A = this chain, B = another copy of it.
Amino acid sequence: MARINDHYLKLKAGYLFPEIARRVRAFAEAHPDAPIIKMGIGDVTEPLPEACRTAMIRAVEEMGDPATFRGYGPEQGYEWLRQAIAQHDFQARGCDIDASEIFVSDGSKCDCGNILDILGHENTIAVTDPVYPVYVDTNVMAGHTGPANDRGEYAGLIYLPITAENQFTASIPTQKVDVIYLCFPNNPTGAVATCEHLQEWVNYARAHGSLILFDAAYEAYISEPGIPHSIYEVEGARECAIEFRSFSKTAGFTGTRCAFTVVPKSLKGQAGDGSRVDLWSLWYRRQSTKFNGVSYIVQRGAEAVYTEAGQAQVKGLIRFYLENARIIREQLMAAGIQVYGGVNAPYVWVKAPAGLSSWDFFDKLLHRCHVVGTPGSGFGSAGEGYFRLSAFNSRANVEEAMRRITSTF
């Protein structure tokens, strides 16, 4: 009989969000009239920018005319989109990134997982704790870990705690690690990294030949000056970092699907015989062979993000969600609850009051306030006692949720 990938059997049964969905469903069935407000999954709620919609409708119409019909596009994305990305997101910020180093894809989640295809199984992998679960789960699936312990930590992975004590920025490891996942602005804590902190990471990576997988899906939410939006704003990052970006949270594309990954041509990995190999060439081959590019229609929508109208509309969306985050932060603080994040990120990281565990707070919030959030412990054992609230919601829902929480706790 055909053999399966046994590593899948090591995965802890409940991926965080399905478990949340299960508890919410059970509660809703028992209390069908409870007006539940969902602030759990980080999914946008506001309409897609008009500039994107207009561009997509035009693209659909082009598909109806043989003269402008588009079949297979380049697997790496259309040149006009890669150029717009390279120019606006990188060159305009002083980053030395070329359009050919941009790989357009249908999602950062996919890219974060698929990137392991081009890496060997011998690497020591470090993740932060708490962490976006996909980094961990995809390494488990690829066979890079042993089994999980009771706290959900997989043998073989290096966990770098990010806590209030280190301002939610991962401490540089004392041992040598080959691959490091970093996410700033951070999901779930909402923390950001300064240039100095990222420079320490880049210096560490270059000294040890490590590869940094830098997830910048939330960079558009950076509202304070002086905070790097890209790791390539830091000297030497072209030699050690891959960056993941997405239109999901920037332009409301969670249901429309477009993202991109930056693989600098100067980035090297090591083959078994000790020779150095371009990671760009490997990723190019991976994407050419296992991916067919993003829908032409969607790429035209993403391109419109970089027009003058698109930029104004996207900035309006970000302002709207950041104002939600401000309301959450300030109301909870006024109620005496300790909060972090929410200034340069759409997530507020809440210290569960009265020493409650993450899941106890989840259940209390659901049952007493009919508000759904995400238990911090679901992101890793160092997230125990914390709770993530997402600012992706309507203003009315955010205000109502805060009224309920502050009058209960």
Contact = CB atoms under 8 A, between A and B. Distances in A.
Contacts of A290: 109-110, 113-114, 134, 138, 141
A10 to B, nearest CB: 11
A330 B394 CA distance: 63
What band does the interface of chain A fall in when counting residues whose beta carbon is under 8 Å from B? 35 or more
Which of A2, A113, A270 gathers most chain B CB within 10 Å?
A2
Nearest to A44: B71
Given A41-B72, A69-B48, A72-B255, A272 B6 contact: yes
Interface stretch (A27-35, A164-172, A277-285, A399-407): A277-285
Given A1-B209, A69-B255, 5 more contacts: A2-B179, A3-B269, A4-B118, A134-B289, A256-B295
A261 to B, nearest CB: 14
A294 interface: yes
A293 interface: yes
Given A48-B69, A71-B254, A141-B286, A270 B110 contact: no
Interface in A154-179: 178-179
Interface string A187-213: 000000000000000000000011100
A197 to B, nearest CB: 21
A296 B256 contact: yes
Contacts of A211: 2
A181 to B, nearest CB: 12
Interface stretch (A60-68, A95-103, A230-238, A370-378): A60-68
Interface stretch (A50-58, A357-365, A380-388): A50-58
Given A107-B291, A272-B6, A297-B297, A43 B63 contact: no
A285 B8 contact: yes
A291 B109 contact: yes
Given A53-B60, A255-B70, A289 B15 contact: yes
Contacts of A5: 117-120, 282
Q: What copy number does this chain have within its complex?
A: 2
A268 B179 contact: no
22 contacts: A1-B270, A2-B179, A2-B210, A2-B211, A3-B120, A3-B178, A4-B118, A4-B277, A8-B285, A9-B277, A15-B288, A45-B69, A48-B64, A53-B60, A53-B64, A56-B60, A69-B252, A72-B255, A134-B289, A138-B289, A255-B296, A257-B292
A54 to B, nearest CB: 9
A119 B3 contact: yes
Contact of A53 (B63, B118, B120): B63
A50 B61 CA distance: 9
Given A256-B297, A290-B110, A282 B2 contact: no
Which of A46, A47, A137, A394 gathers most chain B CB within 10 Å?
A47
Contacts of A118: 4-5, 8
Which of A113, A134, A178 gathers most chain B CB within 10 Å?
A113
A63 B41 contact: no
A390 to B, nearest CB: 11
A56 B120 contact: no
A109 B50 CA distance: 32
Contacts of A122: 3
Given A6-B271, A255-B295, A292-B109, A141 B119 contact: no
Contact of A289 (B41, B119, B141, B210): B141
Nearest to A114: B290
Given A5-B119, A15-B288, A288-B15, A47 B63 contact: yes
B107 A292 contact: yes
Nearest to A275: B9
A338 interface: no
A123 interface: yes
